[in-house]
Amino acid sequence: MDKPIVVITHWVHDEVLNLLKASCHVIPNTTKETLPRQEIMRRSKNADGLMAFMPDCIDEEFLLECPRMKVIGAALKGYDNIDIDACKRRGIYFTIVPELLTEPVAELAVALILGIGRNILSGDRQVRNGQFWGWRPVLYGRGLADSTVGIVGMGAIGQAVAERLRGFRCRLIYSDPNPMRLETQTSLCLTRFRLEELLAQSDFILIAVPLTPQTRHVINPTTLSEIKTGAYLVNIGRGSVVDESAVSAALISGKLAGYAADVFEFEDLTCDGRPMEIFPALIANPGKTLFTPHIGSAVDSVRREIALEAAHSILSALNVTSCELISVDIANS
């Protein structure tokens, strides 16, 4: 019997390739770039399995071109770029890797909070531009000690961030439609507030919610008007949870002291009317912004384990391994 065909849309470690190649014919992407959508569809035309990543948009049109597809093992946690209903209609298993990204994303969240509050990038730029001649009373920012940090969204990542911030002697508050268990809330030194209360009290506001119709542009001109003047906004959730144009205006007006982000609106492929680039005025405001290129989970060992877990799920769904499905099966639950 012919081996099943598995397409991998983005670069993965050799260990992942070797695991899949033992039982499957693998069509990898050996570059570090995202292939054009039409090329991925061409490669997947006769595929039985697909390992998908954040830049991939798997929708009805895509699946129509892949009649043999049995499983999509996504090497990610958030799956807003995947049409789950389309997978269900075709009986396609869809799996994610929900746990492994939590810690590295939480670490980056803390780095962005410290980086934007303490003017790390501006200081680095000053040194490299030859403008540093010894200590001067400049680049005074905001530290975490004695500050209030408001976390919007208290899922696994929000909780991991709170755990890491406890040692900074800051007040931790959160907003989430679903209250935490009292013992967990107490152990993390958290207090729950309504969103408008959190915005009015926080010196640092961390966005840690997934992208849904309810959370899209939850940070908008109205909610920005409720934010404490001089606060810092940090986004490690999804780009479209914030209105980038409104954030830019708040930076220019002085309402916000700074904005840091690892995610951007243009990345959210399924959002109608999404921009095709980061809002230009944000890029043009380096003194008040700090950006990273969606590297929340970019820890080498973690990325290897994420892809390995996705690979095991693909092999299990294709019945070529005795392993159980170890990712979350959404499409067939």
1 CB neighbour count, 10 Å cutoff: 3
- Please name which of 55, 52, 157, 50 lies closest in space to residue 98, comparing C-alpha atoms: 157
State which amino acid sits at residue 76: L
Contacts of 14 (CB under 8 A, 6+ apart): none
How far is residue 160's CA from residue 190's CA, in Å, rounded to a whole number?
12
Is position 103 annotated as part of the catalytic site? Answer: no
State which amino acid sits at residue 249: A
- Catalytic choice (10, 142, 216, 238): 238
Is position 312 annotated as part of the catalytic site? Answer: no
Task: Please give the full DSSP string across 113-136, using - where no structure is assigned.
Answer: HHHHHTTHHHHHHHHHTT---S--
How far is residue 125's CA from residue 143's CA, in Å, rounded to a whole number?
20
- Catalytic choice (25, 125, 171, 294): 294
How far is residue 269's CA from residue 82's CA, in Å, rounded to a whole number?
9
- Residues forming a β-bridge with 207: 152, 235
Backbone dihedral region for residue 139 (phi beyond 0: left; psi -120 to 50: alpha; all else: beta): left
> Are 319 and 80 spatial neighbours (Cβ–Cβ below 8 Å)?
no
- Please name which of 47, 82, 73 lies closest in space to residue 307, comparing C-alpha atoms: 73
How far is residue 29's CA from residue 51's CA, in Å, rounded to a whole number?
11
- Catalytic choice (10, 142, 265, 267): 267
Is position 294 annotated as part of the catalytic site? Answer: yes
Catalytic residues: 238, 267, 294
